[in-house]
Amino acid sequence: MRRYTPKDNVQAKAKYTDRFWVAPETKKEPVGEGSFYDKVVKTLQEDGVEVLKSYIELGMLVVEILPEQNVAALKNLKEKSCFKMCTELSAVDYLAQDGEFEIFYLLLNLDEAKRVRVQTRIKENQAIESVEKVFKMANFAEREMYDMFGIYVNNHSNLKRILMPDDWVGHPLRKTYPLHGDEHAQWYEVDKIFGKEYRDIIGPENRDPARIDRYDTKRFARVGHEVPFGADPSLVDSTIRPIEDGYSKTFLTDYTKESKQLENRK
């Protein structure tokens, strides 16, 4: 029987897990009464922000809120609790487990040297409001979030891809996106320069001159200079010869001959 690999999360998995093993959790302490963090949470609630959960994890306050209230919450934290800087915001993919993304905002209070993490969850096709009006850095950070996860951000001034090319297909940090790239990624240059119809003509082994066949331990650096399997490459003259039959059939197709396959390509 073929081994089952889940399609909704294609990232590396532990090879061996004890079936009775339960992962320990980090300590989540309650917010101390009357502490600085307590005041922060109270001021949030006074402003009508619904705090679903608040705790201190590894020295940082974590506040869970509703996604609709993200702008209000961040505005409150910035203006009333003096969290003047947003150091980072991004998302975590929980589509496989819950069909949700977790979005986090890391804020910093420079006077008290205190940090808070505001986190919220949205459904897969739900958009989130931009916090660019509150923190300008969201301009870049939300673009990255959109690029990497495909999370739409409403009222963002320039929601375009930032790290990947504009015509890229797919969102690389989703758990469904394989590490070595999907089909679009593999044929990206060919599709762009020659057109999709050239995929068959070029063939997977000539698609990328830098491609290394991980199972070919003998001649991975000698594409175009192939020697018979097992032969010593140094003894064979390295002038460019047509690639031997059996190595790359698509490349060797004789275009003068007529065949059904060729007609399809034309």
Partner 1 sequence: MQQQVNKLRPFFENINFERDDNTMVINFGPQHPSAHGQLRLILELQGEQVVKAYPDIGYLHRGVEKMAENMIYNEFLPTTDRLDYIAATSNNYAFALAVERLLGIEDKVPRRAKVIRMMLLELNRIISHLFFLATHALDVGAMSIFLYAFREREFAMDLMEDYCGARLTHSAVRIGGVPLDLPPGWIENLSNYLNKLPDQIKLYDDLLKENRIWKMRLENVGILPPEMALEWGCTGIMLRGSGIKYDVRKEEPYELYDEVDFDVPVTDRCDSYGRYRLYMEEIYESIKILRQLISMYPKTEPKLMAHAPKYISAPKEEIMTQNYALMQHFVLVTQGMRPPKGTVYVPTESPKGELGFYIKSEGEPYAYRLKVRAPSFFHTGVLQDLLVGTYLADVVTIIGSTNIVFGEVDR
Q: Which spans of this chain sit near partner 1 (rule: CB under 8 A)? A: 11-16, 23-26, 28, 57-58, 60, 62, 84-88, 90, 92-93, 104, 106, 110, 113, 115, 117, 135-137, 139-141, 144, 148, 160-167, 172-173, 175, 177, 179, 192-195, 198, 201-202
Pairing, β 128-129 against β 153-154: parallel
Instruction: For the CB of residue 193, give the shortest distance to partner 1 in the complex, in Å.
Output: 6
Nearer to partner 1, 34 or 195 (CB): 195
Instruction: For the CB of residue 246, give the shortest distance to partner 1 in the complex, in Å.
Output: 21
Instruction: For the CB of residue 245, give the shortest distance to partner 1 in the complex, in Å.
Output: 19
| Structure-token pair, residue 22 | 């339960």
Nearer to partner 1, 146 or 177 (CB): 177
Instruction: For the CB of residue 235, give the shortest distance to partner 1 in the complex, in Å.
Output: 31
Instruction: For the CB of residue 114, give the shortest distance to partner 1 in the complex, in Å.
Output: 9
Q: 52 near 44, Cβ under 8 Å?
A: no
Nearer to partner 1, 152 or 198 (CB): 198
DSSP code at position 235: G
Instruction: For the CB of residue 142, give the shortest distance to partner 1 in the complex, in Å.
Output: 11
Nearer to partner 1, 127 or 162 (CB): 162
Pairing, β 153-154 against β 51-57: unpaired
Nearer to partner 1, 16 or 215 (CB): 16
Other residues' Cβ atoms within 10 Å of the Cβ of residue 110: 10
Closest CA to 175 of 83, 235, 102, 238: 102
DSSP-based three-state secondary structure for 54 = strand
Residue 90 identity:
S
Cβ neighbours of residue 166 under 8 Å, at least 6 residues apart?
Answer: 160
| Structure-token pair, residue 46 | 């006074």
Nearer to partner 1, 106 or 127 (CB): 106
